[in-house]
Amino acid sequence: MALTQTDREAERGRIARHVLELVKVRGAEVPWTVAMAESGLARARFETLFADYDDLFDAVAQLWLAPHMAVMEEVLASNLPPQRKMYEFFRRRFVISKERFREDPAFFTTICEMGAANLERVRSYVDLADHYLCELIAEAQADGFFAGLEIDEALSLINQMISNYTLPDAIIYIGDKLTEQKLARIVDTMFIGLSGEAGSDAAGVNTLKVAS
């Protein structure tokens, strides 16, 4: 019997969760044949759900990154002032990654290795995060921040300044040196001084407090 779209998505999600559990237990990326064998499904049924390994990886990546997507969209939809909004946009994702790493460093490291090995498969999520960040930059510019900068230029500068808080691998290598307090200072500094205008007194107030 053909699956409805709802049933198909539910089954894909179930298998993606199972694959993540297998990765956690085995400490390595799970091959297509193993995922199929461990799914409890006949090959034909499995192939109706996942056309190939890339399709399976997409489902796993979607599951793993869903909390990050949710907090970005939540922040984007909020009425926070631009400075706080930018901070929360980065902080909430950083907290998710930090907590995952502390819970199981080996599993977290394996997931990072999978992402690096399948970079093209996760690029769409990076692009979406950049799209959301561009919206935040535009909102901030409407309030007088980042004066004289094109949105793409501000995007590049901000990503480089904040990369240790968005690249999950950074947590593996520098760990406790990354803090919400430091992130708040970085965001404050961006809003105070990031401008394309010579001699600009770009507005910014050092008022960020770490959320309790």
Supply the CATH number for residue 79's domain.
1.10.357.10
Check pLDDT > 90 for residue 1: no
- Side-chain-side CA neighbours of 198 within 13 Å: the count stands at 0
Q: For residue 206, is it within any domain?
A: no
Q: For residue 209, is it within any domain?
A: no
In terms of pLDDT, which residue wins out, 204 or 61?
61
pTM as predicted: 0.87
Q: For residue 211, is it within any domain?
A: no
Q: For residue 71, is it within any domain?
A: yes
pLDDT band at 8 (very low <50, low <70, confident <90, very high): confident
Check pLDDT > 60 for residue 134: yes
Q: For residue 44, is it within any domain?
A: yes
Check pLDDT > 80 for residue 197: no
Number of structural domains the chain divides into: 1
Cα(82)–Cα(136) distance, integer angstroms: 7
**pLDDT tens digits along 73-110:** 999 999 999 999 999 999 999 999 999 999 999 999 99
Q: For residue 207, is it within any domain?
A: no
Q: For residue 121, is it within any domain?
A: yes
In terms of pLDDT, which residue wins out, 204 or 37?
37
What mean pLDDT is reported for the chain?
A: 90
Cα(65)–Cα(119) distance, integer angstroms: 14
Please list, in sequence order, all residues whose beta carbon lies within 8 angstroms of the beta carbon of residue 154, skipping any fewer than 6 positions away: 137, 141, 146, 194
| Structural domain for 98, as ranges | 5-193
Cα(154)–Cα(190) distance, integer angstroms: 10
Q: For residue 178, is it within any domain?
A: yes
